[in-house]
Structure 1
């Protein structure tokens, strides 16, 4: 059963399709017209209205890897599924892992309305879904990747939960670098550019630090921060 709410401009209804309480608070799946939205603890995370920047997150990392054969990628955050679907549609990736801490989000892709967005990617034999918190996953000993593509916050300066800020500090960046193979690429999605994060990446020892912009209809552009672990 859904709950219909008036849209902000009165043109569409907003239907609440699912609402769950989990270890990190409330997570909600809503439908606004033709599109779906994910809300966490009252904070808008993402929707299915566009997806260009989420796809670019993965594509920019792959392009930066050049001729690397069968690279492995870790996607931080399943979200609405654009990044995973784009990765699974690219035969060059040899191994694809996606970390998602919200069980509800995984369910919405496996047997819910977001399955249409991820386009069967969860059934791809290269894909492995890890139901865990990214910070906990990075803190443990584990395999390395050629690319880390992170989309778990609205950016380094606008985290969904306070604890996530540790990911973008010196210790978090050190752990990210440890999980990359030499020459591997880190890509971080953000709702706005962050010169402070660029500097933090350089201070942490990353090279080839740059920011790629994605124009949006209103406001500052979305961006993907890119950096490389030195070979």
Structure 2
């Protein structure tokens, strides 16, 4: 996700965004909008009136995947990764660009977002990744998937909120609770990595990761044009 610092209605008095699709999903309204046109067009996702993410940058979403892979042992063959949240597709596209990854699973709870990738304008970001035989898209709630999926993963790359303290819906807060983080740790293979995207650094969340038994807890930053940097919080399950 990108930070909530840019004007969603454009700047300089130019035309406002164009709504391409609006749907009522299981967690409220989701909207796909376009700003600009042609090669300069930027697509953005709005949930319940809150600007979530757009296609203007993507560096921190790519870092989410790159940092998780870099933290894994270099000799681990074909590590598996679960990406929590399809979003605008930058994290998935980054994972599919890397031949070292094995199984790539994306969990997305909004059917509209999946449709916007499979048969809509966000396919410009994700088309090749979705066609990759390593990729599987699971429609459903991430917390439910983490509790019930039989498999473990070498990396969990989670980007379903604007951060641990800035959730899209109230029930997402359970992911960052002691029980939620313990569940993430148990879903990882020994030595596996948890990476969590956030629109701002959080020393409190670093402490929560340590309290949940994660090792090597750290935060990597991506500078933004204004305000605090986007970050990726990282922790590792003991080998």
Counterparts in 2 of 1:12 and 1:157: CA distance versus 1, 3 Å: same
2:205 corresponds in structure 1 to 197
1:141 and 1:35 mapped to 2: Cα distance?
A: 35
Show the counterpart of 1:107.
115
2:13 to 10, 13, 30: 10
Runs of 4+ in 1 over 6 A off after TM superposition: none
Could you list the per-position Cα deviations for residues 168-222 of structure 1 after superposition, in whole angstroms to 9, with x for gaps in the alignment?
Answer: 0011001101110000000000000011100000000000000001000000000
Query: Aligned equivalents of 1:80 and 1:114: distance in 2?
Result: 6
Q: CA deviation at 1:8?
A: 5.1
Separation in 2 of the partners of 1:35 and 1:141? 35
Pairwise CA distance, 1:141: 4.3
- Residue 51 (str. 1) matches residue 54 (str. 2): no
Which residue is equivalent to 2:4?
none
For CA contacts below 8 A with separation 6 or more, give which structure has more relative contact order: 2
Contact 2:118/2:127 (8 A) holds in 1:
no
Unaligned runs of 5+ in 2: 1-7
TM-score (norm 2): 0.93
Aligned residue pairs total 227
Equivalents in 1 of 2:15, 2:73: separation in Å?
44
Counterpart Cα distance in 2 of 1:141 and 1:91: 25
State the Cα distance separating 1:224 from its structure 2 match. 0.2
The superposition leaves residues 60-112 of structure 1 with CA deviations (integer Å, 9 ceiling, x where unpaired) of: 00111131110000000000000000000100001100000000000000010
Among 82, 91, 106, which residue is 1:74 paired with?
82
Q: TM-score, normalised by structure 1?
A: 0.96
Q: Distance in 2 between matches of 1:160 and 1:193?
A: 17
